[in-house]
Amino acid sequence: MGKCHAAGDTEEYMSQRKPQSRRQKPAEMPETENDRIAGRNPVMEALRSGARIDMLYVGQESGGLQEIISLAKEQGIPVKVVTESKLTQLTGGAVHQGVAAEGACGTYVSLEELLERAAEKGEPPLLVLCDGIQDPHNLGAIIRTAEAAGAHGVIIPKRRSASLTLTVGKTSAGAASWLPVARVPNLASAMEILKKNNVWIYGTDAAGTSYTDADFTGGTAFVIGSEGFGMSRLVGEKCDAMLSLPMRGKVNSLNASVAAGIFLYEAVRQRLAK
């Protein structure tokens, strides 16, 4: 069904290749990634969003952090000055730009809360379902694009998926602190709930309707499949319609986060023109 395949270790949208029968095992993530945020933008956005922060770490040789430090102190968050080597150790070698925070880059919400968020804004839901996106860089990029496009949330499964880790927070440039993410036990069941709430669900397939011919002005959810294997069979069967992207070059693939961006901004264009 969906053609989100990998070349190397990145998720890609493919227009022709078919999913294989076995799924890749999710990569093991360091435990420290689940409760630390690294980098100036991610830490600043976490502070601004009111995310739970227990401790702010700043490098003793780092400058230009006064705004972050002041904001942390205003919120009663302890600030600890550490060596650059200690900061590198705390962040698992991630690019930290002289600052890190103890706390999750985002918190999970329920599927119902995503729908309530759209209702509170008086807008039809605009959502992204990630079917087994295991690369945290791609999940972070999808969250960043979805937040910028004004989507109401991202939905990920509890298994075979990247989670809200340090890497996701860093790659999202802080968007993970603003855009709610629902983590559900079963994507297919979540899709049934969305359908009952008048959300039309789109998958991707080379034989599908051109994405410019579909109507995204009503409740809309885009399914972005995993690297190497596309959408799972059951998720594909639950989709209301399939979309295709024109591939005019020699390489018939797009990174999964790029494909998500194209679909999301077509929805934005249609809604603004309505």
Integer CA distances (angstroms), 149 to 1, 128, 237, 272, in order:
26, 11, 27, 11
> Tokens representing 160?
């075979």
Listed range (71-75, 100-104, 135-139) with the worst mean pLDDT: 100-104
Q: What is the pLDDT of residue 71?
A: 92
Strands 253-255 and 10-14: antiparallel
Average pLDDT over residues 59-71: 87
Going by pLDDT thresholds of 50, 70 and 90, the confidence category of residue 24 is: very low
Contact 24, 134 (CB under 8 A): yes
Q: What is the pLDDT of residue 81?
A: 92
Q: What is the pLDDT of residue 105?
A: 67
Measured at the CA of 32, the angle between CA 176 and CA 66, to 5 degrees, comes to 60
* pLDDT of 25 strictly over 70: no
Do the first three CATH levels of 4-28+107-273 and 31-102 match, i.e. the same topology? no
Nearest Cα to 46, choosing from 79, 72, 78, 65?
A: 72
Average pLDDT over residues 227-246: 89
* pLDDT of 16 strictly over 70: no
Strands 199-210 and 241-244: parallel
**Residue-by-residue DSSP string for 196-262:** HTTEEEEEEEEEEEETTTS--SSEEEEEEEBTTTBS-HHHHHH-SEEEE----SSS-EEEHHHHHHH
Average pLDDT over residues 84-106: 84
Domain-wise residue ranges, the chain: 4-28+107-273, 31-102
Count of CB atoms situated within 10 Å of the CB of 178: 17
Q: What is the pLDDT of residue 130?
A: 96
What mean pLDDT is reported for the chain? 83
Going by pLDDT thresholds of 50, 70 and 90, the confidence category of residue 270 is: very high
Q: Which residue has better confidence, 226 or 264?
A: 264
* pLDDT of 32 strictly over 70: no
* Separation between Cα atoms, residue 7 and residue 103, nearest integer Å: 33
Contact 131, 232 (CB under 8 A): yes
Average pLDDT over residues 42-68: 86
Please state the φ and ψ torsions of residue 136, each to the nearest 5 degrees. Answer: -65, -30
Going by pLDDT thresholds of 50, 70 and 90, the confidence category of residue 247 is: confident
* Separation between Cα atoms, residue 129 and residue 148, nearest integer Å: 16
Is domain 4-28+107-273 given the CATH code 3.40.1280.10 in the classification?
Answer: yes
Give the CATH architecture of domain 31-102.
2-Layer Sandwich (3.30)
Q: What is the pLDDT of residue 227?
A: 66
Going by pLDDT thresholds of 50, 70 and 90, the confidence category of residue 154 is: very high
Give residue-wise pLDDT tens across range 131-143.
989 888 999 999 9
Nearest Cα to 146, choosing from 192, 205, 106?
A: 106
Nearest Cα to 189, choosing from 140, 230, 129?
A: 129
Q: What is the pLDDT of residue 204?
A: 86
